[in-house]
Structure 1
Amino acid sequence: MVLASPNPIHSERILATDLPIVDLKAEKSQVIKLIVKACEEYGFFKVINHGITNETIAKMEESAFGFFAKPVTQKRQASPCYGCKNIGFNGDMGEVEYLMLNATTPSIAHLSNTISTDFSSRVSAYTEAVKELACEILELMAEGLGVPDKSVFSRLINHVDSDSVLRLNHYPPIHYPNKDRDKTTCYNYTKVGFGEHSDPQILTILRSNDVGGLQISPEDGLWIPVTPDPSAFCVNVGDVLEVMTNGRFVSVRHRAMTNSYKSRMSMVYFGAPPLHASIIAPPVMVTPQRPSLFRPFTWADYKKATYSLRLGDNRIDLFRTIPHGL
């Protein structure tokens, strides 16, 4: 498990590369092929020509930065949605402050009175846009996997009782005394802002500003920095989608690093099913050659397991019927 540490990170292998990029306006069969391949090999990819307007993104980012620029006493008025340093309920810490909202209009509207007059409309517009993008991608995935019902994944997010979340993460720059470093070398002095973990939900849609920090770990001990691209959204497979694809898609561990020159902001939509939803792979994903890797469970079961463990603990293995790697 990787936790935020007062010491710089030197020990992991860092491999410079970039994620697959999927142009959603390209020929559909090619788009599907690229998405499936990326989910099998990386668990992550970027999408461009996603249909979300620059205005919607800019207003959301402006509101997010505006909130985090407030005095701490004002930000704490948004508690328990607002948090700083503490991650989860089991002692995990990071160099991050955050605002976490249920991705529903009533929840967003309820909080807006403590933030700004236009917060509710901006966040609601952004949330609806990324939700539509998530559903579009999930339906392309289902088609690529040969699932007869292409809405088998997306309808869980579209459900009126969906447990989806919007999380705004702000990583202030970490300044190091007596270190005269420019932004090309400051990564030698980064700290873990948000520790190693996989996302428990179905699908994550992330947009960050032009500051690096996201790293993925497709194999133990290897970390791949993800190049920031404000024109793209970063998409990653969640634990629930790994289960529903019977392990064909991979939910890959990742983390966020701080830097010493500029604040990083990430706006993250976690598409999740209703609490009562049964999580099980469609029949087409289970064959004699590839038997079911997981036992059925509800999202409530999995969410409870998530909250009971620390950040880097492996939750998905609790529900395996076949040991990992066999």
Structure 2
Amino acid sequence: MASVSANTTTTDDVDVKSSDLASHNTELNGDKSEYSKEKYHDGEISLQDFMLPEDDHINIPDDAFDPNNSSIPVIDLYNPNRNLLLCQMIQAAESLGFFFVTNHGICADLIQRLRNHLCRFFNLPMDVKLKARRGLSPGMCGFVPGSPVFLASRWWAESLQLDWDETRMRNVLLGIFPVDAEFQEFRPKVWAYQTTFRKQLPTGGERGTMRFNFYPTCPCSDKVWGLIAHRDPCMLTILQQDSVGGLQIQTNGQWLGVATVPFSLVVNVGDMLKAMSNGRFQSMLHRVVTNSSKQRLSMAYFCNTTSDAMIGVAPALITKDRPAEYRPFGYAEYSCMPFHPSDLTSIHEYRPHRLDSYKIMPTDSVSE
């Protein structure tokens, strides 16, 4: 049976073929191939260019939450009953694919100081932030003035992505901050936060990726999306969000606003874990709406496999009553599939889940 490597590599940044990008960009945008805050800052595009058609306008505002987060489990990791914790996480992964964890061991002071530094960074002038643009140095480190996956997507967002290499991370930050007292504090705070996941997660390894997402205030928050609906292609995503609402998930065909739980982490299942669990764990659609009066900041850690790993259903989960739902496939093959953001058509008409391409039909067979 094919297996998955325990190491990790770049995540959530889908490797899209340039030919696919060009054709989809032309289909959607005509002669426009990039919707980014850089283009907006330079006056090449306007706020209206980020707006979606009227039928796609936001029908659930950023402050509309599920009452008491009743649908999203909050799991207290301080509970000494480890079997109970495991059962709670499995149940949450199977039913919704999302859950909160509290008492996770990351100091609230570290989180708050890191947020403060990131707010300072994202509020710098655009030309300063672009000194650390992704692509200026090796690896996936750097600032992205729009969607880090597909710049033709109309994301009202910016991001700073840092990988597992401390030297690359330091060089990116040096492109923005002088070697002053604040920089000396910022760099170790970022490294400490990322190292927590690298040490604790069995699939975290040395190559987990951090992405800090920033959603500026938007004058037309009912017409512009922060992040279009999508599923994460990675194993797991672990998100720390501030007190500003905006994250929404789809469950039972309905969109649900996710209220914030102070200093908690939001954990969600990605496509790779859904395949490995034989479809038991759910990789759910989620999105981010914008806010007309408040900036929003989130910190995401992506756990994934190496690009040469083979993904397959865990043998223990294949039974006579529940045969394998997915054939083995390479992660590189999966990540190179043409990427179709849901907003290439309508946000109400989602393209088939990419993972469905690997589903085993009743007439198929798979070797174990």
Give the equivalent residue in structure 1 for 2:128: 74
Q: Which amino acid aligns with 2:354?
A: R
Task: Tell me if 1:22 matches 2:75.
Answer: yes
CA contact (8 A) 1:190 1:260 kept: no
State how 1:287-306 maps to structure 2 within 5 Å.
287-305=319-337
Q: Which 5+ residue runs of structure 1 have no aligned equivalent?
A: 136-153, 177-186
Deviations 1:132-178 (A, max 9, x none): 45x1xxxxxxxxxxxxxxxxxx2x422x4x3x2211111111125xx
State how 1:21-170 maps to structure 2 within 5 Å.
21-26=74-79, 27-80=81-134, 81-89=142-150, 91-116=152-177, 117-118=183-184, 119-133=186-200, 135=201, 154=202, 156-158=203-205, 160=206, 162=207, 164-170=208-214
- Alpha-carbon distance in structure 2 between the residues aligned to 1:168 and 1:74: 17
Q: Which amino acid aligns with 2:92?
A: A
More strand by share: 1
Out of 193, 200, 206, the residue aligned to residue 239 of structure 2 is: 206
Out of 242, 259, 262, the residue aligned to residue 294 of structure 2 is: 262
CA contact (8 A) 1:52 1:130 kept: no
CA deviation after TM superposition for structure 1 residue 302, in Å = 2.1
- Alpha-carbon distance in structure 2 between the residues aligned to 1:43 and 1:65: 29
CA deviation after TM superposition for structure 1 residue 218, in Å = 2.1
Give the equivalent residue in structure 1 for 2:354: 315
Q: After alignment, is 33-42 or 83-92 more displaced?
A: 83-92
- Alpha-carbon distance in structure 2 between the residues aligned to 1:291 and 1:46: 31
Q: After alignment, is 119-128 or 232-241 more displaced?
A: 119-128
Q: Which 5+ residue runs of structure 2 have no aligned equivalent?
A: 1-34, 36-49, 135-141, 178-182, 343-350, 363-368
- Alpha-carbon distance in structure 2 between the residues aligned to 1:5 and 1:290: 45
> Percent identity between the aligned chains?
31
Out of 269, 272, 289, the residue aligned to residue 240 of structure 1 is: 272
- Alpha-carbon distance in structure 1 between the residues aligned to 2:216 and 2:59: 21
- Alpha-carbon distance in structure 2 between the residues aligned to 1:132 and 1:253: 28
- Alpha-carbon distance in structure 1 between the residues aligned to 2:265 and 2:165: 21
**CA spacing shift, 1:157–1:29, aligned 2, 3 Å:** same
**CA spacing shift, 1:132–1:47, aligned 2, 3 Å:** farther
Q: TM-score, length-normalised on structure 2?
A: 0.71
Q: Which amino acid aligns with 2:235?
A: I
Task: Tell me if 1:249 matches 2:281.
Answer: yes
- Alpha-carbon distance in structure 1 between the residues aligned to 2:273 and 2:102: 22
**CA spacing shift, 1:284–1:244, aligned 2, 3 Å:** same
Q: Which amino acid aligns with 1:28?
A: R
Deviations 1:182-213 (A, max 9, x none): xxxxx8x3632100001111111000110000
CA contact (8 A) 1:24 1:49 kept: yes
SS in 2 for 1:174: coil
CA deviation after TM superposition for structure 1 residue 231, in Å = 2.0
Q: Which consecutive segments of 4 or more residues in structure 1 shift more than 6 A?
A: none
CA contact (8 A) 1:213 1:258 kept: yes
- Alpha-carbon distance in structure 1 between the residues aligned to 2:168 and 2:273: 25
Give the equivalent residue in structure 1 for 2:18: none
Give the equivalent residue in structure 2 for 1:183: none
Greater C-alpha radius of gyration: 2
